[in-house]
């Protein structure tokens, strides 16, 4: 072989090696970014507890641990898994939220919010703030999972100081979009859709993964405004973190036109603005009541399925104290027993996540029975499809397909007067003519029948498990 031939052969081999390296790098990046490369999370609607409805911005470590203890004892046996600290864990003085200029934050050397040691003393280990490492480890020891709430973006204080972004050569001003602020939050700027922005979210999720976080609720991102570029960055950052972290998007109402994007990028997204303990909010857009959620649930139910769940928001039942964010101070829920039962029934039929807002340390037996009803939970967790089948005056009915030869049928009275129902199953798009009937909320078993005969009080419902002959 001549010298020129050897040279050409060497050049060719070199080109092949370079091409192989490029293909390897591309394949590696694809594997990192592809959702299919990760285990499917949230195969059923997540169940748990969130601090917001009872503590607002003010929860501290002692209160959180007390609720987790109560959750482990009262709700964990029924499948409630996630314990989530909502907004404000990085605020030294959350009571000053109405005067944002007075707020003081805990931020690490890379510009990331960290827990305030005065409120979460376990975050301080040997003089160093280790975040929620100790807290998450303790939650895991209880057989539960740990979650936190964040606002999208980057702390304004970190941008002002132009701090370095951990794991990169960028600084916070490279990542921040100072023309994009959350309209209702004074803490953060938005994130640019560039390499620095991705480095920021990679740093953030790497930190959370190190803490042991299992669930991240990201606010000001699903609507007013909808920020799909940041949702994509967070999705990638979770994958890059190497930890299985459920992503929940807030607030609503997420627009129906975004259903494919949010289902691809997150496990949970809010279908409405905040729900609170009111029946009907009328024309108000915030907060909204239980009655107002029926239309949203009917629109979104077709997009519910393993790994992606439209979220009807939290369950403001039981005691909402000591610092509920909405309403006139600490209180027992303003929802009547019938309205609470209606909420749980609609949420189960719509296959929504079930996230309790009550102060669990004060959970009474009646509310505990409501939240742990086995058939209600089985509908929420195992139904394969559901839909609204009738909206006739004040009468609304839903059906859900269950494994085997069972169906679930829910009848709701949204009006202010009693409603009497005497109808055949065919009126509810059920093809089997006769069923054995069990009332989910009372446990009463009825003989095989071809008809439904019930009387519904105002705002009340009946939830039936139907077994075909």
CATH assignment at residue 394: 2.60.40.1180
CB neighbours of residue 282 within 10 Å: 9
What's the start-to-end Cα distance of the chain, in Å?
Answer: 84
Q: Are residues 400 and 280 in the same domain?
A: no
Q: How far is it, in rounded angstroms, from Cα 56 to Cα 318?
A: 16
Q: How far is it, in rounded angstroms, from Cα 356 to Cα 332?
A: 14
* Long-range interactions of 91-95: CB distance < 8 A, separation 24+: 91/57, 91/116, 92/116, 92/118, 92/119, 94/56, 94/57, 94/58, 95/57, 95/58
Q: How far is it, in rounded angstroms, from Cα 464 to Cα 33?
A: 44
Q: Are residues 194 and 209 in the same domain?
A: yes
Domain count for the chain: 2
Q: Are residues 270 and 405 in the same domain?
A: no
Residue 412 inside a domain? The answer is yes
Q: Are 201 and 233 in contact (CB under 8 A)?
A: yes
Q: How far is it, in rounded angstroms, from Cα 466 to Cα 469?
A: 10
441 phi and psi angles, rounded to 5 deg: -85, -25
Q: pLDDT (tens digit, 9 = 90+) per residue, 222-260? A: 999 999 999 999 999 999 999 999 999 999 999 999 999
Q: Are residues 95 and 189 in the same domain?
A: yes
Q: pLDDT (tens digit, 9 = 90+) per residue, 414-458? A: 999 999 999 999 999 998 889 999 999 999 998 889 999 999 999
Three-state DSSP class for 286? coil
Q: pLDDT (tens digit, 9 = 90+) per residue, 333-362? A: 999 999 999 999 999 999 999 999 999 999
What CATH number does the domain containing 174 carry?
3.20.20.70
Residue 16 inside a domain? The answer is no
pLDDT tops 90 at residue 388? yes
Name residues whose C-beta falls within 8 Å of residue 36's C-beta, 6 or more positions apart in sequence: none
DSSP state of 106: -
Residue 81 inside a domain? The answer is yes
Q: Are residues 251 and 132 in the same domain?
A: yes
Residue 444 inside a domain? The answer is yes
* HSE of 360, CA atoms in CB hemisphere, 13 A: 27
State residue 248's pLDDT score: 98
Q: How far is it, in rounded angstroms, from Cα 306 to Cα 289?
A: 27
Q: Are 389 and 397 in contact (CB under 8 A)?
A: yes
What is the sign, positive or negative, of the torsion defined by CA atoms of 195, 197, 201, 204?
positive
Of the pLDDT bands very low, low, confident and very high (cuts 50, 70, 90), residue 38 is: low
Question: Among residues 459, 444, 440, which one has the least CA distance to residue 396?
Answer: 459
Check whether the bond before 251 is cis (ω within 30° of 0). yes
Of the pLDDT bands very low, low, confident and very high (cuts 50, 70, 90), residue 28 is: very low
Max Cα–Cα distance, the chain, nearest Å: 99
Overall average pLDDT of the 363-375 stretch:
98
State residue 12's pLDDT score: 43
Q: Are residues 368 and 454 in the same domain?
A: no
Task: Please state the separation of Cα 131 from the chain's center in Å.
Answer: 22
Name the domain boundary from 327, 357, 384: 384
Q: Are residues 372 and 415 in the same domain?
A: no
pLDDT tops 50 at residue 197? yes
Q: Are 266 and 248 in contact (CB under 8 A)?
A: yes
Question: Among residues 390, 353, 373, 366, which one has the least CA distance to residue 443?
Answer: 373
Q: How far is it, in rounded angstroms, from Cα 212 to Cα 147?
A: 9
Residue 425, both tokens: 């199953």
Overall average pLDDT of the 188-209 stretch:
98
Range of the domain at 123: 38-384
pTM (two decimals): 0.91
Q: Are residues 377 and 397 in the same domain?
A: no
Residue 119 inside a domain? The answer is yes
Name residues whose C-beta falls within 8 Å of residue 56's C-beta, 6 or more positions apart in sequence: 86, 88, 94, 323, 324, 325
Overall average pLDDT of the 309-316 stretch:
98
456 pairs with which residues across the strands?
419
Q: Are residues 264 and 402 in the same domain?
A: no
Q: Are residues 125 and 46 in the same domain?
A: yes
Q: Greater confidence, 81 or 12?
A: 81
Q: How far is it, in rounded angstroms, from Cα 47 to Cα 245?
A: 15
Q: Greater confidence, 370 or 5?
A: 370
Name the domain boundary from 384, 413, 441: 384
Residue 338 inside a domain? The answer is yes
Of the pLDDT bands very low, low, confident and very high (cuts 50, 70, 90), residue 18 is: very low
102 phi and psi angles, rounded to 5 deg: -95, -10
User: Beta strand 215-219 with 145-151: parallel, antiparallel or unpaired?
Assistant: parallel
Residue 340 inside a domain? The answer is yes
pLDDT tops 50 at residue 10? no
Percent of the chain scoring above 90 in pLDDT: 88
Name the domain boundary from 369, 384, 399: 384
State residue 399's pLDDT score: 98
Question: Among residues 278, 313, 276, 277, which one has the least CA distance to residue 297?
Answer: 313
Q: Are residues 260 and 273 in the same domain?
A: yes
User: Beta strand 268-270 with 309-311: parallel, antiparallel or unpaired?
Assistant: parallel
Q: Are residues 309 and 421 in the same domain?
A: no
Residue 27 inside a domain? The answer is no
């Amino acid at each position: 072989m001549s010298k020129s031939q050897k040279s050409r052969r060497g050049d060719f081999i070199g080109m092949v090696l370079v091409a192989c390296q490029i293909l390897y790098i591309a394949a590696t990046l694809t594997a990192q970014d592809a959702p299919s490369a990760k285990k499917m999370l949230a195969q059923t609607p997540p169940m748990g507890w969130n601090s917001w409805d009872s503590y607002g911005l003010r929860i501290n470590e002692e209160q959180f641990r007390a609720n987790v203890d109560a959750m482990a004892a009262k709700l964990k046996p029924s499948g409630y898994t996630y314990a989530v600290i909502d907004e404000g864990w990085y605020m030294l003085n959350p009571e000053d939220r109405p005067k944002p200029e007075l707020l003081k934050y805990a931020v690490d050397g890379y510009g990331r919010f960290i827990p305030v040691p005065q409120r979460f003393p376990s975050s301080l280990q040997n003089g160093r703030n280790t975040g929620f490492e100790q807290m998450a480890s303790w939650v895991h020891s209880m057989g539960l999972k740990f979650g936190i709430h964040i606002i999208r973006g980057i702390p304004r204080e970190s941008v002002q100081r132009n701090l370095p972004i951990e794991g990169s050569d960028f600084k916070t001003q490279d990542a921040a979009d100072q023309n994009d602020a959350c309209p209702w939050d004074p803490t953060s700027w938005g994130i640019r859709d560039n390499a620095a922005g991705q480095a920021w979210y990679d740093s953030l999720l790497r930190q959370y993964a190190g803490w042991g976080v299992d669930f991240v609720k990201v606010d000001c991102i699903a609507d007013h405004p909808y920020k799909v570029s940041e949702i994509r960055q967070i999705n990638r950052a979770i994958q890059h973190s190497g930890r299985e972290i459920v992503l929940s998007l807030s607030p609503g109402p997420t627009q129906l036109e975004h259903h494919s994007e949010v289902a691809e990028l997150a496990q949970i997204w809010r279908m409405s603005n905040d729900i609170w303990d009111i029946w009907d909010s009328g024309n108000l857009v915030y907060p909204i009541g239980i009655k107002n959620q029926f239309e949203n649930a009917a629109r979104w139910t077709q997009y519910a399925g393993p790994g992606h769940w439209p979220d009807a928001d939290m369950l403001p039942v039981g005691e909402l104290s000591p610092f509920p964010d909405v309403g006139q101070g600490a209180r027992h829920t303003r929802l009547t027993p019938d309205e609470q039962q209606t909420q749980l029934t609609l949420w189960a039929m719509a296959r929504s996540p079930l996230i309790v807002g009550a102060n669990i340390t004060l959970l009474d037996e009646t509310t505990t029975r409501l939240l742990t009803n086995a058939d209600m939970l089985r509908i929420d967790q195992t139904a394969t499809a559901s839909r609204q089948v009738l909206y006739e005056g004040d009468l609304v009915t839903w059906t859900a397909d269950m494994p085997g030869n069972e169906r679930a049928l829910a009848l709701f009275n949204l009006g202010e007067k009693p409603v009497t129902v005497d109808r055949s199953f065919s009126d509810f798009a059920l093809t089997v003519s006769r069923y054995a009937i069990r009332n989910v909320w009372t446990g009463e078993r009825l003989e095989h029948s071809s008809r439904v005969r019930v009387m519904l009080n105002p705002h009340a419902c009946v939830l039936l498990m139907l077994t075909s002959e």
